[in-house]
Chain A
Amino acid sequence: MFSAVVLTTSSIRTLNIFTLKKEKYEISYATVLSLKAMLENREFNPMGGKFTGKINGFDYDITYKILESRRTYVTGETIRTTGNLGPYNIYLYSCVLNLLKEGSYSESSFEILKYQEVVSSE
C-alpha cells in the first residue's frame, strides 16, 4: 500500500515537472524567434544599445553591439541570382537576449545582419 502511494505520487510529480518543462520550452522557442523577427526590423545604432520590455509573460532585455561592418562595391552579373546587386553597407551585430520568468532565467545569443543601400551622389 505504502509503495503504491509513493509510486503514484512520484510519477504524478515527475509528469508535472516534464509537462511544465515542455510548456516552458515551447513558449520560450516562440518568444525568442518572435523577438529575433522584431529585431530584424528595428533600426540599430552602430555604437551598440539595449532593448527591454515584456512579451508572452517574460521580461526580456536585449543587448547588441557591432561585430563587423563592410561595404560592397562590385555589382553581380544580371543573369545570376546571387552576388551583390548594388553598393551596400553591411553591418553584423551580435545580440544577447535574456528572458526572465518567475525567477527562472535563460540566455540566448545570435547574430543579425543589417543592410543599408549606399545612395550614389552622382
Chain B
Amino acid sequence: MNRPAFSLIEVLVAMVIVSLITTTGMFAFKLALNQINRQSSLTFEEPMRFTQIKNLFNATYFYVVEEKDKFNPMEFKYEYLFNKTDNEITFVSDGPIYSKRLSLVSLKIKDDSLFYMETPIYDKKQDYKKPFISEDAQEYKLLKNIKNAKFKYEEPIDLPKDFETKIPKLVILEFKRDSVDYRYIFDVKYNFYQLKQYLKSKREVN
C-alpha cells in the first residue's frame, strides 16, 4: 500500500532549515544578552556613588569665618565646619558633587536612603555667607535600600590649636541590606599641606 509520506531528502532539508533557524536565533539571543551586559556594566551606580561620597570627605576644607583685613589673607580667621550626628553630617568640602566651588555639603539618612545637598559657602563676590544649606538647594538620592542606617565616627584628627572644630578621622556608614550588615568606611582628609602652609605663613607674618 502506498501511503503519502515525506522522502528522506525532504526530512533532511527540513531538519537543516530548522537547525539553521535555531542556531541563528541562539546566536542573536547571545549577542543581545552581551549587549545588555555591556550596557549594565557601564552603569555601576553604587560604586559611582561610593566614590562621590569618598571624594567629598577627601576634600574637607577650612573656610573664612572672619576678615580682619580684607586685602591680607593672613589676617583672615579660618575654621573648619563639621557638624555630625547619627543620621546627618554637614561639612565644608572642596570637592562637591555638582559644582566646582567650595561648598557646604550635607549627607542625610531618611526613608532608608542617603540624601545629599550642597550650597556654595561663598557668594559670587567671594564674600562669606552663613554656613547653612540654602532652602532652594536640591536634594539628591545617593544610596537606596539602606535599612537601620546610621553614621559612626572614629577618633578626631589632631588639628592645630588655631582650630576648635573636631573632625573625625573616619566616617563609617553602617546599614543592613538583604539581612547582611554593611559598613562603608570613608577617610576624612583635611588638606594638610594647605593648612600647614597657612599656619606657617601666619606665624611668619606675626
A residues with a Cβ closer than 8 A to B are 3, 7, 10-11, 14-15, 18, 22, 25-27, 29-30, 33-35, 37-38, 40-41, 55-57, 78, 81-82, 85-86
Contacts and interface: CB of A to CB of B under 8 A. Distances in A.
Contacts of B132: none
A78 B74 CA distance: 13
Contacts of B33: 11, 14-15, 18
Consensus secondary structure, chain A interface: helix
Chain B interface size range: 20 to 34
Nearest to B40: A22
29 contacts: A3-B25, A10-B29, A11-B33, A14-B33, A18-B36, A18-B40, A22-B41, A25-B47, A26-B44, A26-B47, A27-B182, A30-B46, A30-B50, A33-B54, A34-B184, A34-B185, A37-B54, A37-B186, A40-B187, A56-B180, A57-B180, A57-B182, A78-B200, A78-B201, A78-B204, A81-B193, A85-B196, A85-B197, A86-B196
Given A22-B41, A56-B180, A78-B200, A35 B194 contact: no
Interface string B131-170: 0000000000000000000000010000000000000011
B40 A7 contact: no
B170 A41 contact: yes
